[in-house]
Chain A
């Protein structure tokens, strides 16, 4: 056994206690970040994270690792900007290399309407703290010389909104940095331990039922991705969530360095280069609600056809791997965080296609909510009660793809 496995075994092989202050369901980015910030910011370490598979085995390991804050509504811009800021300091804070790389994101406009929309978004983002500017075709070409500015003749690049803080990070490293950070301070992460039910004490959630026995908890947090409706139903809740799958794929490696992240809402795709040099492409969710992890050839074909309009150099690359995650989509394309109306039960869900970039801020704010008992201002607009209050946070235009 090498040093690495030995250290990890010491950290992860702990028998569950009979009761914890906080039990988090789901050891993905959001669950672990909540445990991490509970331990580091609030000194709450009597915490357990229960995971059906292994750490980061769900959507945290299936996303396209893009970090950005150029969203379409003020509350979202502020929230994601907080996340971008936390990500920047996370390597130093956790003392681990997360392969965080700031590369800037170019969001293309191919029509007059899109130019107007991108201009508007650049103004709104800058106003609320996420620096973004609208750049003309000449600057776009300078920032990304590989682009076909005529867009294959059909999708001319008329400009783009440029968000220099756009970045990527390595998903496993982020998840493990948070997991180890939490575990070193005393939190437990129980892998291969599915939560099978919730223990109800009258109206209140008082613990979880697992394969290892019943565990009492002061607060239960659902950080589940994909099967959250099932967990919420155990607490008698119905959620405004529908689960769709989202696919992505990488090509073999492109020898040159490909600078920025390129996105286009009209062509419905985005591309970036991974640290290994592979070109990583993603697009929209599949149209039917589904929990299946199957990926389809149609998807690759479709996305390639659109991506080649803008990035013709990719024609000489080959598709290497393809994978699928399942996304919890909320009706307004914004996350749902906070209290649920059921005592002792908190929820962070609706992370659809924008979960990875929100990991640190989501965790930080949930931790603050649990520790202080008061909903932080930053996430107050994203509560589950917004649907009943008719205060939906419609953000499909900027959250729709990634």
Chain B
């Protein structure tokens, strides 16, 4: 079974219907504007553990929503419309 994403509108659907998007956060300790741009464009937190991320139901209701997912197990903790 592949990952099923709980869409608040359509219910649980296959991950292949969705587009994944990371919520980009440039760390506060970066102050140089060029460094902040570089970080925003390329760097990732790539966190191991529970992350909050956005998903777009491209082949469904075409809405954005947020879920919390554990990247070490792919377990979805909660989903909420945003």
Residues of chain A touching chain B, judged by Cβ–Cβ distance below 8 Å, are 227, 229-230, 238-243, 286-292, 294, 296-299, 331, 387-388
Contacts and interface: CB of A to CB of B under 8 A. Distances in A.
Contacts of B45: 229
B75 to A, nearest CB: 9
B2 A289 contact: no
Interface string B67-82: 0010111100000000
8 contacts: A227-B48, A230-B48, A238-B44, A242-B44, A243-B71, A288-B15, A288-B74, A290-B74
Contacts of A294: 73-74
Contacts of A290: 71, 74
Interface of B: 1-3, 14-16, 18, 20, 22, 27, 34, 38-39, 41-48, 69, 71-74
Contacts of A241: 44, 46
A239 B74 contact: no
Contacts of B1: 296-298
B16 to A, nearest CB: 7
Nearest to A226: B48
B71 A238 contact: no
Contacts of B42: 240, 331, 387
A292 B27 CA distance: 26
A286 B16 CA distance: 9
- Going nearest first, the 6 A-B pairs with the smallest beta carbon separation are A298-B2, A229-B46, A240-B42, A296-B2, A238-B43, A292-B74
Contacts of B39: 238
Given A288-B3, A288-B20, A240 B44 contact: yes
Given A230-B48, A287-B15, A291-B48, A296 B43 contact: no
A304 to B, nearest CB: 14
Contacts of B41: 387
A285 B22 CA distance: 17
Given A289-B20, A289-B22, A290-B71, 4 more contacts: A287-B16, A287-B18, A287-B20, A298-B1
